[in-house]
Amino acid sequence: EPEVTQTPSHQVTQMGQEVILRCVPISNHLYFYWYRQILGQKVEFLVSFYNNEISEKSEIFDDQFSVERPDGSNFTLKIRSTKLEDSAMYFCASSSGEYTDTQYFGPGTRLTVL
Amino acid sequence: DAKTTQPNSMESNEEEPVHLPCNHSTISGTDYIHWYRQLPSQGPEYVIHGLTSNVNNRMASLAIAEDRKSSTLILHRATLRDAAVYYCILRDVQSNTGKLIFGQGTTLQVKP
């Protein structure tokens, strides 16, 4: 069964450093998402991406964040200058069709900012 | 998306049925009821969804009240692997956004 994959599984970085989290969505999917979950808290929406552009972003997704689909398979989330409060699990998700279609989530990347 | 209310936690015994309730009294006519779950240390996982009629799939059943103000996710025989946080989420079919809005969900414990 096709699945969403994410790398790395765990990323440790120093405050102020740039990180890139990578995702490979399911191959025929068209809609892509990033969510995050701070330890012990709810899963929060960050951004949705369709047709090579951001379709919606949350208040969390400020100028320090960016997303890109650099080729036909990868979908990346970049944080330019990490802060301590960026420490969280980051989940990538994809869906095939319309916005209300089922979203398939990856296993997540645990980001630890020291 | 309209708000949903779920109990914070529930317990079940292994191999017994589990009924997970969700209240959504302000649901609109175009809101679908979706259920996702999150197993420990994993990403959320789709379980089931419905609009008006009860739905069954290999994972679970979804019973929707006639007035649609509440629904119940039914796991027919809970296993230890079903221990997870279960989220009830409303999604408007007319929405131009795909984001899922997660609440706190119901943490299901399954006892052997």
DSSP string, B6-40: --SEEEEETTS-EEEEEE-TT--TTEEEEEEEE-T
Mutation to test the B interface, candidates A94, A95, A100, A104, most B Cβ within 10 Å: A100
pLDDT given at position B19: 98
Size of interface A-B (CB pairs under 8 A): 61
- What's the Cα-to-Cα distance from B83 to each of A21, B8, B18, B67, rounded to whole Å? 28, 14, 11, 30
8 A C-beta contact, residue A13 and residue A112: yes
- Chain A neighbors of B42, CB-CB under 8 A: 107-108
8 A C-beta contact, residue B2 and residue B101: no
Q: Tell me the pLDDT tens digit for each residue of A31-46.
A: 999 999 999 999 999 9
8 A C-beta contact, residue A95 and residue A41: no
pLDDT given at position A93: 96
Q: Tell me the pLDDT tens digit for each residue of B85-102.
A: 999 999 888 877 788 999
Of A31, A100, A106, the CB nearest to B95: A100
In this predicted structure, the answer to whether residue A99 has a pLDDT above a threshold of 70 is no
Q: Tell me the pLDDT tens digit for each residue of B52-96.
A: 999 999 999 999 999 999 999 999 999 999 999 999 999 888 877
Strand A19-24, strand A5-7: pairing: antiparallel
